Structures are given as C-alpha cells and as structure tokens.
Amino acid sequence: MEPPAGRSNTAIVRKQGAWMFLASMTNSGMGFIFWALAARTFPDPFVGTAGSVISLASLGTSLAILGLDNSLVRFITKVDRPRRLIRQLVLVSGVLAVGVGAGLMVVVLSVGLAGNEALVAVILLGTALTVFQVWFQISDSSLLAAGRNELLAGRSIAYGAGKILLLLAVTGMGLLGLLLAYTVPLLIVVAGAFVISGFLWPAVNPQGRPHRLGEFASLSLGNYASGLLWFLPNRLAPALILIVYSADEAAYFFLAFMLAEVLNYIPESVGKSLFAQGSRSDAISTSTMRDVRVWLTLVMVPLVAVGIVLSEFGMDLLGGPNYSAHAPILQIFLVAVLPRTGLQLLKARFNVEKRMGDLVVLGAATGLSTLAFFAVALAMRPDIDVVPIAWVLGGVVGLGAGLAAARARVNWPRQFPSKPT
C-alpha cells in the first residue's frame, strides 16, 4: 500500500503519531490531576497500595495479552472477517486475564496486605482491572489499525474525566473508593470503543483471506515474550517496594514513574504509528526510519532536559512537600526515557519485518537487565531516590543488544506470509 499522493510515509507516521501522542498526553494530564487529587485527599499508604495494585494489574495484562494486540494491528487488514477476529481476541484474552489477574493478586496481596479487612475486595477489583486493561489494549489496536488515532484522543478525555469525577464522589470510601474510581470508568470507555470498532471494521472483507488464531502464534508469542520481559520490572517494582521499603516510599516511586511516563508516551506513540503504517505495506524504508529517528532525537533531548529542571516543581504540584523531597526519583526516570526512545523504534521495525527472535532479544535484554539491577538495589536497600538508576542501566543494555541484533540480521524463523492462509 502506497501513501496518498503528496504524502510520505514519514508524514503519515508523524500525523498518526501526533494523534496518539495527544491521546497519551490527554490521558497523562488527566492522570496527573487524578493522582494529584488522590495524593491530597487520601493517606499516602492508600495511594501507595493502590499504585501497587494497579501495577500488578498491568503485569497481569502483560501476561494475559499474549501479544494479541500487536497481531491485531499487523493482520486485521488482511483477514476476511475483521469483526470476528476482534471478538475472538476479546474472548481469549478475557479468559486469560481472569486467571492471571486473580492469581497475581492473591499471591502478592496476601503478603502485602496481610490482615487487611479489605483484602478480598481489593483482590476482586485488581482482577477486574486486569481484564479491563487487556480489553483496553485490544480496543486500542482496533482503532490504531483503522488509522483513526484521533478517536484515541477523545477516549482518553472521556476516561480521564470519568476517573476524576468518580474520585471526587468516593473520597470517603478509602482504598476501595480510590480503586473503584480508577477501574469503573475504564470499563465504560472500553465498551464504547468496541461499539465504535463495529462501525470501523466490516463484517466481511472480500480482499481478505480466511484465518485461524493459531496462525498468529509466532508473532503473538514473540510480542508476548518480549513485552512480558520488557515491562516486568515496571509492573513488579511498586509492589516489591511496598514490601521491602514502605507504602509511603511506594507512593513516591510510583507517582514519579507515572510522571516520567508522560515523556515515554512520545516515542511509544511514534513507534506504534510506525508499526501500523509499516504493516500496511509490509516494510519500513530506511529513509523513513532515519527521518523519524532524527526527528525524535530533536524532540526528546530538550524535553528530558526541561523535565529534569522542573522535576521538583512537578513533584510538589503532584503531592506537596513530601513528594518534592523525592524529586531525584523523577529526574533519574526521565534520563531513562532517552535509551527507551531508540528501543521503541527498534521494536516497530522488528514487528514489521516479523523478526520475532530479535524482538525477544530486545525485550529480554531490556527487562532482565533492569530487573537484575533493581534486584541488586533491593538487596542493598539504598535511599529510595537512587533506585531508578536500574532503569537507566537496563535501557542502555537493551538498546545495545537491540542495535547489535539489528546489524546482525540473524535468520530467525519468520511469521507466516503477509496474507494469512
């Protein structure tokens, strides 16, 4: 598929990436307001515990999604029944999310919240959040593959506004109220997104080919292994800090990480758009990759520098003096954004080229090295402010491994042909 006349692939990637970034920034902005209100209206232990539950749900999402969201982007334009494919992925991922989410919540929270009278309710809410986040990613992919990234921005506004309004209504409900405010609006926007997807994708695509879910196994499992290892430290960190340090320090760590994620959304958005655009033509040209890489560098380096300068102000705005005292956590997480910018572009390239082995190498090198550095930090138990150095070192190791894999061009087994049979 060629880009429209007068428009380069780079221009399309930038435009769709801009919409995705707007969606991410809207979500982050609303999330900033949500957590700022939560930090000022709920005790620090409630915020730290809620952050740990949300991180566990995100880990459960990574475990249960099986890379099916990326397979949806890669192949939905090539199958004969797009709507049926979406329904199949919703069913499979939902069943997996229930089992994985419940298991994680029981194992971890039984230790972290031992003796807490709300334990069972928190486990149930955490399990539900896992399911809804899995479906959120599936619905995201259906809109992304349709090239309707502007709808993602509208959905982010709806979700953020719903969280804030519900938070204001449940301030007297303690920890459960905080988790409800985060979870219930997510279900509503996911349901709305699937309704919209029904209008964007036809029931039958005459140019498509019949498909079976098993045909997506290589791409799905490659993304699953890579994504699971990549995000493992992010998902485990708040819960482990809750156990090794305290709920207060888990709150400082979690909210600094969430704030730094605002900048991570830029390369992630561009990477996803690059993946979606490349999937339509089954290739990403060298010139497109080079142009996007230069553009991202010119954008990200100044933004990270400004973020570091304003980190104390941002933490103070988020939670007050207790949080601003831990501004170094945010500063170090911001530095970690730079190597991960390159990682997002390599991830998009390996997906389009169906180099699943290289994709696994990328995720494993990034995630496992970060986890190893983090484990060393937990064993040494230094000041919480320096623990995020593990994310900087892990990003550098992952980027080095990814670049080496890209140059080596190992002949890994590839996914089935571009048009499934």
Higher local confidence (pLDDT), 103 or 319: 103
pLDDT over 90 percentage in the chain: 24
> Across residues 351-361, what is the average pLDDT?
82
> Across residues 86-112, what is the average pLDDT?
88
Q: Is the pLDDT of residue 89 over 80?
A: yes
Cβ partners under 8 Å of residue 414, min gap 6: 218, 354, 355, 356
**Residue-level pLDDT at 11:** 65
Instruction: Return d(Cα 54, Cα 420) in angstroms, integer.
Output: 36
Could you tell me the pLDDT band of residue 228, with boundaries at 50, 70 and 90? confident
In DSSP terms, 29 is beta-bridged to none
Q: Which of 73-82, 283-292, 366-375 has the highest mean pLDDT?
A: 366-375
> 174-200 and 119-145 helices cross at what angle (nearest 10)?
20
Q: Is the pLDDT of residue 356 over 70?
A: yes
**Residue-level pLDDT at 32:** 77
> Across residues 60-64, what is the average pLDDT?
83
Closest listed residue to residue 413, CA positions, set 364, 346, 355: 355
Q: Is the pLDDT of residue 38 over 60?
A: yes
Higher local confidence (pLDDT), 227 or 372: 372
Higher local confidence (pLDDT), 202 or 288: 202
Instruction: Return d(Cα 78, Cα 80) in angstroms, integer.
Output: 7
pLDDT tens digits for range 180-224 = 999 999 999 999 988 988 888 888 888 878 777 666 655 566 666
**Residue-level pLDDT at 330:** 92
Instruction: Return d(Cα 85, Cα 212) in angstroms, integer.
Output: 9
CB 116, CB 246: distance < 8 Å: no
CA atoms within 13 A on the CB side of 407: 6
pLDDT tens digits for range 121-177 = 989 999 999 999 999 989 888 887 777 767 777 888 888 889 999 998 887 788 889
Cβ partners under 8 Å of residue 48, min gap 6: 238, 242, 246, 247, 248, 249, 250, 251, 254
Higher local confidence (pLDDT), 298 or 111: 298
> Across residues 38-46, what is the average pLDDT?
84
Q: Is the pLDDT of residue 309 over 90?
A: yes
**Residue-level pLDDT at 392:** 95
Higher local confidence (pLDDT), 88 or 116: 88
CB 126, CB 109: distance < 8 Å: yes
Q: How far is CA 75 from CA 358, 400, 418, in A?
A: 20, 30, 8
Higher local confidence (pLDDT), 124 or 283: 124
**Residue-level pLDDT at 333:** 94
CB 300, CB 337: distance < 8 Å: yes
Q: Is the pLDDT of residue 118 over 70?
A: yes
Higher local confidence (pLDDT), 217 or 317: 317
Higher local confidence (pLDDT), 22 or 409: 22
**Residue-level pLDDT at 376:** 94
Cβ partners under 8 Å of residue 368, min gap 6: 229, 232
Q: Is the pLDDT of residue 398 over 50?
A: yes
Phi, psi of 202 (to 5 degrees): -75, 160
Task: Report the phi/psi class of residue 161: left, alpha or beta, with left for phi > 0 and alpha for psi in -120 to 50.
Answer: alpha
Report angle CA 350, 214, 146 to the nearest 5 degrees. Answer: 55
pLDDT tens digits for range 407-421 = 876 444 444 444 433
Q: Is the pLDDT of residue 24 over 80?
A: no
> Across residues 391-408, what is the average pLDDT?
91
Q: Is the pLDDT of residue 352 over 70?
A: yes
Q: What is the dihedral of CA 72, 266, 134, 275, to 10 degrees?
A: 10
Average pLDDT, the chain: 82
Least trusted range by pLDDT, from 1-10, 401-410, 412-421:
412-421
